[in-house]
Amino acid sequence: MPVQIEQLRIVQYPNPVLRVKAQPITEVTDEVRRVALRMLEMMHEAPGVGLAAPQVGLSWQIFVANPTREPEDDQVFINPVLTRPARETVPQDEGCLSLPGVNAPIYRPRSITIEATDLDGAKFTMTSGDLAARVWQHEYDHLEGILIIDRMAEIDRIANKRTLKDLEQAYKQK
């Protein structure tokens, strides 16, 4: 069934699609390209620095990212694979467009390499030790059905408990 691009919206926790492991994209089609472009628009509108397909209700292995928020730095990652994580992990506050109001320090490897396919179907590899590395790891987690609430310390889960309950209640009322 074709994707209704204009109907894509950012889904919020606890929508079940956020917990499903995304499926690989077998071919970079015009539909995949249109979805990616719409995801970039939504990411900028939100505003955010990354957005994964499960966050718009699609269980596809694709995410978009732009840690600088400069339009020329928009990137699309299809069927990404993360490799060579740094041994050192560092905490940094993270939020999520699908978990509005939920923030916590999340420990992640300081640097990482990503291999993916672009919108032209070409494979590429990048390595970063900057914010890009964190964004890639966060968005990749979405493709695995993992949320920041799964990675936060117990004390941070307790601190965010009320917000999570509110999100759960709002979802039930839809």
Show which residues are catalytic: 139
Question: H or E stretch including 163?
Answer: helix 161-172
Q: Return the amino acid letter for 98.
A: S
158 three-class SS? helix
Token representation of residue 160? 């965010």
Cα angle 10, 33, 113; round to 5: 80
Say which DSSP state 97 is in.
Answer: T
Distance CA 143, CA 28 (A): 17
Query: CA 95, CA 76: separation in Å to the nearest integer?
Result: 20
